[in-house]
Amino acid sequence: MTLVEVLVAMTIFGLFAAAFAPIILQGLVIAQRSAVQVTANQTVGEIIDAVVVETTCTAIAARAGNWSGGVEANGGVHLAVDVVIDACPTAFPDTVHVAVAVTGGDVAARAETLVVVQGS
């Protein structure tokens, strides 16, 4: 190969690399957003799993309070956690409605469940 052929090949390679750079960068942004969404979904699942095993309204509120400060996701994104527990029933056993929302950046995850409670 001559020096001219090497320079032509490197120029063509550089043009292709420059053409595909935005696609690669967009893929990285999507991967970051997906990682944050996974963290939000996982946090919602963990909170729901933690509260459904409790048998009193006080214990549900205490368990839900463990996430009151939110969580940090990949890339330093802060996810806010909002747990809403409806009014505790007056007769037992009964159910209490629990809603969990995790939001931050441009992602959101939400879940709701009914928890059987044996006391307040």
| pLDDT per residue of the chain (120 residues) written in tens, 0 to 9 | 699 999 999 999 999 999 999 999 999 999 999 999 999 999 999 999 999 999 999 999 999 889 888 999 988 899 999 999 999 999 999 999 999 999 998 999 999 999 999 988
Alpha-carbon gap, residue 1 to 107, rounded angstroms: 52
Q: Are 104 and 44 in contact (CB under 8 A)?
A: no
- Cα(first)–Cα(last) distance of the chain, in Å? 83
pTM of the predicted model as reported, rounded to 2 decimal places = 0.82
Q: Among residues 32, 38, 96, which one has the least CA distance to residue 64?
A: 96
Instruction: Spell out the residues 6+ positions from residue 33 whose beta carbon is closer than 8 angstroms to its own.
Output: 105, 106, 107
pLDDT at 78: 96
